Structure 1
Amino acid sequence: MEKPLISLCMIVRNEEQLLPRCLRSVQGAADEMIVVDTGSSDRTVEIAREFGAQVIAARWENDFAAARNIGLEQASGRWILQLDADEELERGQHNELRQWAARSEFDGLLLQVHNHAGSDPGSSVVTINPIVRMFRNYPACRYKGSIHEQIAASILETKPGAAFHCTPIRIHHYGYAAEWVKKKDKVTRNRTLLQEALRRAPDDSFHHYNLAVEYMRVHDYESALRHLRQSRRFLPGEVSYKHLLYKYEAYCLSSLARADEAVKVLDQGRELYPDYTDLHHTKAVVLIRQGNKKQAAILLRRAVRLGPAPLAYHTEAGIGTYQSCFLLGQLVEEQGSPAEAADYYLQAVTHNPSMTSAWQRLFRLMRLEGREQAIARLIFPVLDRLPDGNQPNQARLIRHVLLLLAEESCLDTARALKEQYMGSSAGPAVRLNPDFEAQLASACAAEQPDDPLVPELPEEWSTAVRAASLSGDNKLAWKLLSGWIEQSKKPDASTKANPSDHAYRLSLTLIALADIQLAKHGGPESPKRSVIRQARAILPYARLRREDEL
């Protein structure tokens, strides 16, 4: 009888909330499920069996490798796929995964582990790590390491010259979402196990690296820096995490206000890994903090040209795409190139349509430059793409963009967008709940640029805004603005009850005053225009009032 192609191997304990999603995600990809339970007191074992898994009870010995190896001993597949309960396999890549497993030239496959900030697939991705998660089921191959256990070294010991390959197959990991880290106290657990591992092997580069990461999670950059340098000192050669040591060491140095040292470390890393986009982007961030924005822009342009880091590198979501484009847009806008800035903001939202800050910058800049009529032509192609191939996501995005347009006073574009997607049979089925529709209608009903978007503004402030507008007196405007800021610092009952609403009103109010002054001195020949435009551009963005609509 032919062996199964892929065996899923897992270790679990009290994972009844997460396990169903994980096991559901591998149905149709794995031929066999082996679940090692290390002492669950909830329904974990029952759930695993409901999915057809073979469950093995094992005592927890504070050793992840030992627990994983129990599962390997029972697996009969030609390949082992390793997942944890707080992960799921990308559902649309089952066939692709099996195609990789059918190839004969590789012994281990690196899958792209997308670490999410939240606990669901729609949450933002923070980092992307290529990790060996599928490998041939050689009898002598076993995991090593009580924590952050590894299989690659064992594969190479079993088969010197073994071939590894980076694949685009994605695993979504939610285990470091804030609620799960707090619930399971992962940082303390990991730090305790790593410190014990270092007592046994004080020259282990990988243990030093992983302990540094745990210290970075709690912002102990001095301790992290010490272990990163030890990790570099004891490097056994070209290992999979070596490029990260330069990036993380620079991050720690920058956080400790040692920017010059951070730049030197980044330059060392860039010489070794010129195609690692993260190092160029990170150096740009450090240079911005030093005030060297011209050189930072050069580095960000290089990052954008390079695009996302090659699959073999550990990276952050958006570096080389939306993060780099957005930061570069801010720099060139500040340097007086609004058209180029708008292009970078547009690239940012094309890469990441949910990036609120880039939409806001784009809308604000286009309106300030008198180009609001061009917004629809630019953004409709972005909105017409279905994010993740999911029509509800498109409807959600359109609601989001509509509100942003209204809040940035791009009212003609908001009306056009509403007509395009709600008034046309050709558009997608975008439905608004009554509260949202009323809010949008109220915002879009404002015909004059000096009409506040929020009707609850205090009467004395509305009067002050109009007085500044009529007088055109910048000194008066500044006096009134300063008075309101001081008043806002003294919390009253309503402020304490709704601090976010207060911040929202204040933000829109500051923007409204700047808009009034801009309209007053808005002619291209006005010497005040550029100053007012710059002031308007750096005002804080209004926080969306209905985050549940986003």
Structure 2
Amino acid sequence: MTRLALVMIVKNEARCLGRCLESVKRYVDRMIVLDTGSTDNTVEIAKSFGAEVYHYEWQNDFAAARNAALEKSDAAWNLVLDADEWLVSGFEALSEANLPLHPSVASPPLGCVRVTNAGRNADEPDRRNYLARVLPRGVRYEGRVHEQPEIGRSRVHLPILLGHDGYTPEQLGRKKGRNEYILRAELEANPENGFMWYQLGREHLAYEEFAEAADCMMCAYRFVEAQSYERQEVVIYALVLLRLVGRHEEALALADAEQDNWEDVPDFFFAVAELYLEWASLNPEIAQDLLLPVVEGAWLKCIEIGEQPHLNCSVEGSGSYRAAYNLSNFYKILGYPEQADKYQHLGNQMRVAAMAA
């Protein structure tokens, strides 16, 4: 039996497949590539790296394709990558010491890796995305699109970083409409699937279709379970999107309903601060007494909580330097220079620490 296999599904990925395979080939024992109908030289590139190539008729179902690829593997562990991803660091987590041929427990957890998006502005804070990509033998996917491996299974974060360039404008343009078509088909069959509404909202957000994204995220909020993995993300995205499209009163009601549920999530309070600050600008007559104290308290709460890098979709700096810088500007505008200087200095220290981490 193989210890570790790379397992991929691909179609017309000649642009980037070689980069992916080159980054990982020395750390895996097999490379399995399932091609779903390429018309470029994707297959030839895969074979040139020594990958085993299989052919599969596409059925508009990502989970079915992932599972067909996994069926080709006999490995104790499967590393699942997309062609527009590549291994950046954390190679040691793929070693035999960490992923043994014979795991010590009967049901090992799924291994989550961090994915960072290429093309991001250097001054733009990074959003931490963790995806389950190191799968024990026998794990299979569910969901026609934005497929997930065994949703109820325990997960552990691995120190693996993947690069990803699928969200650059060029690549988004190439894929536009593909996922939305499948998501809407899924929702037509199951209109109360909160996870699919959430993913459709994310799809619209990627193309800056904010009004549609807000509608979808509020549908997700209605249907996702309170204890579900994506509930936190749904709430925060909904707050941000409702503000962006001017639905402030809905956002304020949502913040009020959820304020006791995310005491350890700085991103929630960061979104609340931005919401109340914008609402204050629209309602100056009540800003000083009722709204600005909430803004101040929310950003102070972010710093009190601190960075929570383990949280999926958390934004770097929400619990540290971004909140401190915003407080500095807040106090400067209100005419409190000593407080402004204090939080400017704190923000600088926090940013240096974040860059060194």
Distance 1:342 1:222, change over 3 A: closer
Residue number in structure 2 paired with 1:179: 170
Name the aligned partner's letter for residue 273 of structure 2: A
Name the aligned partner's letter for residue 79 of structure 1: W
Residue number in structure 1 paired with 2:320: 321
Instruction: Please report how far the alpha carbon of residue 305 of structure 1 lies from its aligned counterpart in structure 2 after TM superposition.
Output: 3.2
Instruction: Please report how far the alpha carbon of residue 51 of structure 1 lies from its aligned counterpart in structure 2 after TM superposition.
Output: 1.8
Residue number in structure 1 paired with 2:200: 211
Distance 1:123 1:58, change over 3 A: farther
Distance 1:38 1:124, change over 3 A: farther
Distance 1:224 1:31, change over 3 A: same
Is it true that 1:347 corresponds to 2:346 in the alignment?
Answer: no
Aligned residues: 339
Instruction: Please report how far the alpha carbon of residue 33 of structure 1 lies from its aligned counterpart in structure 2 after TM superposition.
Output: 1.0
Name the aligned partner's letter for residue 35 of structure 2: D
Residue number in structure 1 paired with 2:114: 112
1:55 corresponds to which of 53, 56, 81: 53
Partners of 2:74 and 2:125 lie apart in 1 by 34
Is it true that 1:200 corresponds to 2:199 in the alignment?
Answer: no
- Greater shift, 205-214 or 323-332, is seen at 323-332
Aligned to 1:309, what secondary structure does the other structure show? coil
Aligned to 1:8, what secondary structure does the other structure show? strand
- Greater shift, 75-84 or 60-69, is seen at 60-69
Aligned to 2:148, what secondary structure does the other structure show? coil
Maintained 8 Å contact 2:63/2:143: yes
Is it true that 1:286 corresponds to 2:288 in the alignment?
Answer: no
Distance 1:21 1:322, change over 3 A: farther
Maintained 8 Å contact 1:276/1:313: no
Maintained 8 Å contact 2:309/2:316: no
Maintained 8 Å contact 1:277/1:308: yes
Deviation per CA, 1:412-468, whole angstroms, max 9, x where unpaired? xxxxxxxxxxxxxxxxxxxxxxxxxxxxxxxxxxxxxxxxxxxxxxxxxxxxxxxxx
Partners of 1:218 and 1:176 lie apart in 2 by 10
Residue number in structure 1 paired with 2:285: none
Is it true that 1:165 corresponds to 2:156 in the alignment?
Answer: yes
Partners of 2:24 and 2:292 lie apart in 1 by 47
Maintained 8 Å contact 2:128/2:309: no
Maintained 8 Å contact 1:117/1:123: no
Maintained 8 Å contact 1:328/1:344: no
- Greater shift, 208-217 or 104-113, is seen at 104-113
Name the aligned partner's letter for residue 191 of structure 2: P
Instruction: Please report how far the alpha carbon of residue 282 of structure 1 lies from its aligned counterpart in structure 2 after TM superposition.
Output: 0.9
Give the gaps of 5 or more residues in structure 2: 281-290
Distance 1:192 1:319, change over 3 A: same
Partners of 2:222 and 2:81 lie apart in 1 by 32
1:96 corresponds to which of 84, 93, 96: 93
Maintained 8 Å contact 1:28/1:94: no
1:19 corresponds to which of 17, 20, 23: 17
2:7 corresponds to which of 6, 9, 12: 9
Name the aligned partner's letter for residue 249 of structure 1: A
Maintained 8 Å contact 2:117/2:167: yes
Residue number in structure 2 paired with 1:85: 83
Superposed CA RMSD: 2.6
Residue number in structure 2 paired with 1:43: 41
Instruction: Please report how far the alpha carbon of residue 83 of structure 1 lies from its aligned counterpart in structure 2 after TM superposition.
Output: 0.8
Distance 1:350 1:165, change over 3 A: same
Is it true that 1:130 corresponds to 2:127 in the alignment?
Answer: no
Instruction: Please report how far the alpha carbon of residue 294 of structure 1 lies from its aligned counterpart in structure 2 after TM superposition.
Output: 4.1
Identical residues among aligned pairs (%): 28
Maintained 8 Å contact 1:116/1:127: no
Distance 1:325 1:173, change over 3 A: farther
Distance 1:308 1:171, change over 3 A: farther
Name the aligned partner's letter for residue 267 of structure 2: D
Aligned to 2:176, what secondary structure does the other structure show? helix
Name the aligned partner's letter for residue 336 of structure 1: P
Instruction: Please report how far the alpha carbon of residue 329 of structure 1 lies from its aligned counterpart in structure 2 after TM superposition.
Output: 2.6
Distance 1:318 1:88, change over 3 A: farther
Aligned to 2:142, what secondary structure does the other structure show? coil
What is the TM-score normalised by the length of structure 1?
0.57
Partners of 2:308 and 2:256 lie apart in 1 by 17
Aligned to 1:90, what secondary structure does the other structure show? strand
Instruction: Please report how far the alpha carbon of residue 272 of structure 1 lies from its aligned counterpart in structure 2 after TM superposition.
Output: 1.5
Higher normalized contact order (CA 8 Å, seq sep 6+, divided by chain length) = 2
Maintained 8 Å contact 1:115/1:125: no
Name the aligned partner's letter for residue 193 of structure 1: I
Residue number in structure 2 paired with 1:276: 265
